[in-house]
Amino acid sequence: MSTSNTYAQEKVKEGQATGVTNETQQSVEVKSRKFDAKRDDTAMKQIVTRAEIEKFGDTNLVEVLRRQSGISVKGNIVSLNGLDGYTQILVDGQPLLRGTTIDTLNLNQIDRVEIIRSATAEHSTQAIGGTINIVLRGIAKFVKRNLKVAVDRWGSDTLFSNLSLQFSDKTEQFAYDVGMRIADARLGENKYLSVESINLRDHVLSKQNTKLTRKATLPSLNIEPRFVWTLGNGDQLTISNSVYFQPIDIRTTGIGLTEDQTSNVKSANETHYSDQRFAIGSTAKLDHRFGGDAKMSVNFGVNSASSKQSQTDYANQGAPSFSVVKKEFDDKQTTVKFFGNFESPLTQGHQVKTGWDLGREFHSVDGGVQSQDITIYRAAAYAQDEWQTTPLWSNYFGLRWEGFQTRVTDVEVMPWVSNTNVFSPIYQTLLKFENNKENQVRLALARTFRNPNFRELVSDNFRGANNSVIYPDFVGNYRLKPEIALGVDGAFEHFGKDGLKFSASFYAKQIQNVIQRDLRFVNNRWVSQPNNDGKAQAKGIEIDVKFPLNLLLKDLNHIAVQANLGRNWSSVLNVPGPNNRLLGQPRITANLGIDYQPNDTWSLGSAFNFASEGDVRSTVYLSSYSKPQRRLDSYLSYKVSSDAKLRLTMNNLLGQDQISVNHYQDFQNQITTLEKALSNRRIGINFETRF
């Protein structure tokens, strides 16, 4: 999102036409150097290149993003600035295919990842925490065949295997690219759960200790064929397709002992969960160029996803009260979308873009606790102007409108219809210093929002056998309002010689209608439900630096260092303090990476990641604590030939167990739970080749 390169090229032509001196022309040529998105784009954007994606031999994108500045990870949930649930994930500017998650994407198909700190009008402004836009590889200009095989081992019970294949070809008027990924995961996990309960009325103490063993098989298949036709008038038609299939089978066994003042009771429970996931989607895109560098893109897409789930609970095995409860339900989703844009230079230095986005999402849930149908209609329109005001100062103005109509049909209540719409003005600016062009400052102002997602509108379809404060039943709330945020982001950046890069940035967000989960004890079961709960504030600072080590120690060549440190603060105003922060936001994040490449054949490196969440009070009655997370990853890469590479990876070398504590206290009960998830070191090997 920048016109600086275009502006410089125009100045070169202008200089040649007026007969300026060679010295002047040389000065202009420096300005028209190769475009660097991190440095020249008006938007606050960080780029994860293809080389960085491949460096550690990761098999899914979550592991790649874990090592990036300002990003925190929990499970397969990725967030910017620790704003869990507020970070928008896009693929080529559009939401993920329904039924898939970020960790199921084929890494071989990804060209780069754009980490956008603020908002832009061309993307949805459902980006209170920012946007992660995954850009797929373009069609190759020549015949290409890539093969990648990876095997990872975690401890003695977990094995990952992954095979990726990509092949493409091109003629004068037709090109194609097909990517395929076959993966298999055999997981073995152990957790220890301790629950201490005190009835404050009669002071009865109860203790429960449970060992949970989880065995899972998670095979998956991705196929992504893409076809491009060059039409007679220069137009280009692209049809992108995606097929995803994953059968999931999980068995969880719990062996427990409950002690109180009068008895000791042993328990043995087992849950068998299966899920047949299938998703298919297709998008057609027509690109047309007009005269004067104007162009238009029109897109139409359809995708469908289904999830057929089954859960069987075996409670009190070996006891007279032994019981078996089986539940099944189907979840089907269909999405139709029509979107596009028109882009044209308005006057010198102005690049104007307008666009639209229309869609319909239908979700049908049949069986389980309750059956529901949800239909979401959405419409959006936007306009933006990228203005290169001077060679050293660029501005971005954007305005986006998004409207939603949500229809909920529940078998137990009357149909519910909700209409919401949000206007999002956006301004971003980049100023470079005339006397010191290595330094520059950025500022961004934006109004963003988060619409309640499907999972917050409907209830869980299963009620687990291990119902507790940390494993409550989930009840949806289709009366939720969208969260609205006003935000400011800023940064100072330095791009020095010999690869030195430094930035110091900040952000501040004011959020209205913040969605918090209330926890209650209803009908002898713990129940969690989301509700709008007033206002929240979030702010933070971050320092990021990259440099070759020989800038400090001249004799240490071929070594690159990258380090960053972030500090976050937040508060939910309707929750009493202290520690009334947004749930899941780490107070401190830090990364330190070192890479050594003595020649073109060998390279090795390590990356250390740290995140500390600390104490959080999420409701009046519920607080939690998570142990700081420390992780160390390493890799060794050997270039077998110009077309083949072998990579050894070692992840989670510290092997730190994950420990979390939850404390609940109301007028009648005081409950403390401690959960310890055992961690394993991982070693992997992968081989990739072109043929």
Share of the chain above pLDDT 90, in %: 61
Q: What tens digit of pLDDT does each residue of 83-116 get?
A: 878 999 999 999 988 778 888 888 888 999 999 9
Q: What tens digit of pLDDT does each residue of 402-449 get?
A: 999 998 887 566 688 889 999 999 999 999 998 888 999 999 999 999
H/E run at residue 39: helix 37-40
pLDDT at residue 17 is higher than 50: no
pLDDT at residue 676 is higher than 90: yes
Distance from C-alpha of 457 to C-alpha of 482, rounded to nearest angstrom: 12
Q: Of 249, 280, 239, nearest to 100 (Cα)?
A: 280
H/E run at residue 29: helix 22-31
pLDDT at residue 362 is higher than 90: yes
Average of per-residue pLDDT values in the chain: 88
Q: What tens digit of pLDDT does each residue of 131-175 get?
A: 999 999 887 777 889 999 999 998 878 899 999 999 999 988 999
Tell me 460's DSSP state: -
Per DSSP, the three-state class of 648 is: strand
pLDDT at residue 625 is higher than 70: yes
Q: Which two tokens stand for residue 484?
A: 């609205």
Number of Cβ atoms within 10 Å of the Cβ of 174: 12
CATH superfamily of 36-690: TonB-dependent receptor, beta-barrel domain (2.40.170.20)
> What's the predicted TM-score (pTM) here?
0.88
Look at 156 and 688; give whichever has higher pLDDT.
Answer: 688
Name the pLDDT band for 268 (thresholds 50, 70, 90): confident
pLDDT at residue 341 is higher than 80: yes
Average pLDDT over residues 652-670: 92
pLDDT at residue 202 is higher than 90: no
Please report the pLDDT score of residue 372 as a whole number: 79
In Å, what is the CA distance from 526 to each residue of 383, 466, 561?
A: 47, 10, 48
Contact 250, 274 (CB under 8 A): yes
Look at 504 and 14; give whichever has higher pLDDT.
Answer: 504
Contact 109, 122 (CB under 8 A): no
Q: What tens digit of pLDDT does each residue of 500-541 get?
A: 999 999 999 999 999 998 888 888 888 889 999 889 999 999
Q: Of 597, 601, 499, 580, nearest to 534 (Cα)?
A: 580
pLDDT at residue 23 is higher than 60: no
Phi, psi of 479 (to 5 degrees): -95, 10
Name the pLDDT band for 11 (thresholds 50, 70, 90): very low
Rg (the chain; Cα; Å): 27
Please report the pLDDT score of residue 4 as a whole number: 42
pLDDT at residue 548 is higher than 60: yes
Please report the pLDDT score of residue 292 as a whole number: 76
- Give the range among 5-14, 264-273, 487-496 with minimum mean pLDDT: 5-14
Q: What tens digit of pLDDT does each residue of 302-339 get?
A: 999 999 999 888 877 656 667 788 888 888 999 999 99
Which residue is associated with the tokens 């007969």?
Answer: 19
Please report the pLDDT score of residue 138 as a whole number: 81
